[in-house]
Chain A
Amino acid sequence: MGASGKLELRSVHKQYAVGRNMLQVLSGVSLDVGPGHFLSIVGPSGCGKSTLLRLVVGLDVDYGGDILLDGNRIAGPSLARGIVFQDHRLLPWLTLEQNIGLSLENSDWSARAKADAIREQITLVRLSGFEKVYPHQLSGGMAQRAAIARALINKPDILLLDEPLGALDAITRIRLQEELLRIWSVEGTTMILVTHDVDEAIFLSNEIVVMSSNPGSISKRFTVALSSPRDRASSGFIELKRQILAELHLYQQKTEAVEDCVDMAALI
């Protein structure tokens, strides 16, 4: 179960070939995530957050630097690391329960235990009654919740969440945030959450990393020292939010400035 697995990123670089050019997407990303931590990553669109999660989950081993789990370089995917992709990625030809059950395809549980676990997860994300429904019959938020259930059912040590609550209404969102917190405290799962919502990041995490783009790198790291449960209206909360937003705006202005220069260069 949880509470094992120390994740270390040592100056991770990643580039993609785009046509003939190499596009530097991540540059010198170093990061430690202790067992049982809850880390959030915020940053502008295109700064490489999803790319970073792909590397950590083991889908892409073609990168520079090291990603170490308990000192060993990650060599491929493992059931100990779960991911909720940015798109829900439910298979359209499987019903909701079959999609969630896909995670248990290789477990040695009995059929009964699998069915129970699936039902439990479906209840957890409040999709009861939709077991036999195909993904195209779900709303965006329902599909996202199903994807979360699919990732949770394996009880991974490390769970990577790529904007999992993006398509949800405010109320469902807050409920699922609390649900994530509950799972985190009960299972001791290490959580790495990508989000655009600074409130969400502060509410959930011990630590917040702000990334900047071109190339993607870590611009600042915040420790959240607020006691839990966190009060979104407390002064500490608001002060931290102000600092993080300032950090985000800072580089946004910086990138805008760079783009202005590029525009100028194009004119000349």
Chain B
Amino acid sequence: MSDLSVAACLVDTKEPAGKPDAVRDGSFDIGSITRRFGSPVGLILPSLIFALWQTAASYQWVEPVFLPAPRKVLEAFWLMLTKQDLFFDFLASMSIVGQAFVYGSAAGIGLGTAAGLSRKFEQFLGMTVDTIRHIPGIAWLPLIVLWLGIGAPAKILVIAKSVFFPLFLNTLQGIRSVEKNYIELGQVLLLTRRQMVRKVILPSAMPNIMVSLRYSAGLSWALVVVAEGLSGLEGLGFLIFRAQGLLLTDQLLVCMIIIGIIGFSIDRQMYALQCRILRWQQGFKG
């Protein structure tokens, strides 16, 4: 998915060889900050959309029940924040996503590494993994809710499952594609198996792992909304579906905008992390 953005982020680290000091403190120039947080050009389209929304509401092109004015939405936000439990719902969603992401990616990287290092283990997992993978997380939810109830654990499990697979497959793939030359170097230096994994194999798989970490972070945020909408009594997803039922379009829009902004900033954080961890990689100036 994000091949292009990976390449772009790698540009950050490209420093001329003659300037080791600049590399040492890992400082970034203004250009790279703009690249990371979006240049002003990126703000044009949102402004246009906002202006269109404002105009449509002022001239009542659409009935206010279906499209409330931006000011109404802002008021709804204030109301939800002060009189209702918006912040609490937000935290509920965040906590589910955070836990699911940590468990799912830890399991994915761990088992992916194991499968990458041992063909036997890969064969042992192969059929099971490929079958489970094709049953979408959301299809698991009803069964798991039966077992674990409508609380957080069921959602964590389902989202962790969706995080697990991209990481498992990419880690496996990354480990398998480590250059033979580097393994030979490790052999010549008599690295132990452990050292080989830590110093050669895992770092070489790291670009794959980082891409899937970023991808699945976004995925899990999207999934929590669906999962909360389908079951449970809290979280942003629950609020959205409740707002729809009660025709509280302003509240619905509040939730949508929050989800969008949080998703955006999760992605930017992951991108920054990716750039940090892969700063050794050589990119092209694009």
Contact = CB atoms under 8 A, between A and B. Distances in A.
Interface of A: 57-59, 76-79, 82-83, 85, 87, 89, 91-94, 102-103, 105-106, 129-139, 142
15 contacts: A58-B188, A77-B187, A77-B188, A78-B190, A85-B185, A93-B204, A93-B280, A93-B281, A94-B280, A102-B199, A105-B191, A130-B17, A133-B17, A133-B20, A137-B15
A138 B185 CA distance: 19
Contacts of B199: 91, 94, 102, 105
A93 B204 CA distance: 8
Contacts of B281: 92-93, 136
Nearest to B283: A136
Contacts of B188: 57-59, 77, 82-83
Nearest to A98: B199
A129 B23 CA distance: 11
B189 A102 contact: yes
A142 B184 CA distance: 22
A222 B16 CA distance: 45
Given A91-B199, A136-B281, A137-B15, A105 B189 contact: yes
Interface of B: 13, 15-17, 20, 23-24, 181-182, 184-185, 187-192, 195, 199-200, 203-204, 206, 279-282
Contacts of A59: 184, 187-188
Contacts of A135: 280
A57 B24 CA distance: 35
B282 A92 contact: yes
A75 to B, nearest CB: 13
Nearest to B207: A93
Contact of B20 (A57, A85, A132): A132
B168 to A, nearest CB: 22
Nearest to A137: B17
Nearest to B200: A91
Given A131-B20, A137-B15, A106 B182 contact: no
Given A77-B189, A106-B192, 9 more contacts: A78-B190, A85-B185, A87-B181, A93-B206, A102-B189, A105-B191, A132-B20, A133-B20, A134-B279
Contacts of B280: 92-94, 134-136
Contacts of A79: 189-190
B32 to A, nearest CB: 16
A122 to B, nearest CB: 12
A59 B192 CA distance: 15
A49 to B, nearest CB: 17
A137 B190 contact: no
